[in-house]
Amino acid sequence: MKYWSETLLEKKRILITGASSGIGRECAIACSNLGAHIILMGRDEKRLQEALHSLSGTGHSTIICDLTLVNSIKDHLAHLKSTEPISGFIHCAGIERTRPLKSFDSEDFAVMFNTNVTSAIELTRVISALGYLEKNGASYVFISSVSGINGEKGKLEYSSTKASLFALTKSLALELAVKHIRVNCISPAMVQTPMFKSITDSLPEDSVNSIEAKHLFGFIEPSDVANLCIYLISDLSRKITGSNIVIDSGYTLK
């Protein structure tokens, strides 16, 4: 069996949501550097094209799709059936916000849940059907958060959606094993993405310094998460399924 090399993901076709920025874009770039063909999925066409042009190699494509519109997902993926098979799926798309209980709005929460969780289920359902997958199986990775483990003030919506991904991972891992599909979850702490910047820009400097101090080795880079995704997508992790792997720079130790 091959170990880490420049051809680690050669001949693999990987669907990545939230691919226009942040962790999703970094995953797309990193996987393409190792020989994978990437399907970038997101709702911002301009930014998806920019991400597409940053990839190495050829054979990449984009899908413009608003994941809050869950019922449209199957139609957006229909053209992939019976083409080059999919061997990996990384769900990075997500909505994050801070909102206390007193300001809870069920309609806003439904939009967040659709993007963070329901779309993950629907994408998994569609690509796991006959005609989409690599015959030897596939690997799926959901990007969750340590907020789903520890919880945070004002994050009841976000935390509950991310916690849902843990249970989803375990249930799907059991159900899809018969198809040789592995399903795993990654839970990062604070990752330096555009979303991260929007959060920290709204906080006083001492609050940001306090949060950073909890990250014993500094804030997490998107490339740190991408490297873990590469491992889980690749055959190097062929015996790992149903796991939630925390990458938090020591954040949850305190």
Residues with Cβ < 8 Å from 192, sequence gap 6 or more? 219, 220, 221, 222
Mean pLDDT of 23-34: 96
Domains and CATH numbers, the chain: 13-248 (3.40.50.720)
Residue type, 229: C
Residue type, 199: I
Bridge pairing between strands 61-64 and 138-143: unpaired
Digit-coded pLDDT (tens) for 194-210: 777 777 777 778 877 88
Q: Residue 1: which pLDDT band, with cuts at 50, 70 and 90?
A: very low
CB contact at 8 A, 63 and 83 = no
251 vs 254: CA distance, rounded Å: 6
∠ CA 204-205-209, rounded to 5°: 125
CB contact at 8 A, 146 and 219 = no
Q: Give pLDDT, residue 235.
A: 93
Q: Give pLDDT, residue 112.
A: 94
Digit-coded pLDDT (tens) for 169-199: 999 999 999 999 999 999 999 898 877 777 7
CB contact at 8 A, 67 and 19 = no
Q: Which two tokens stand for residue 122?
A: 């629907």
Query: Among candidates 252, 128, 239, 113, which has minimal Cα distance to 190?
Result: 252
Digit-coded pLDDT (tens) for 47-85: 999 999 999 999 999 999 999 999 999 999 999 998 999
Does residue 135 or residue 23 have the better pLDDT?
23
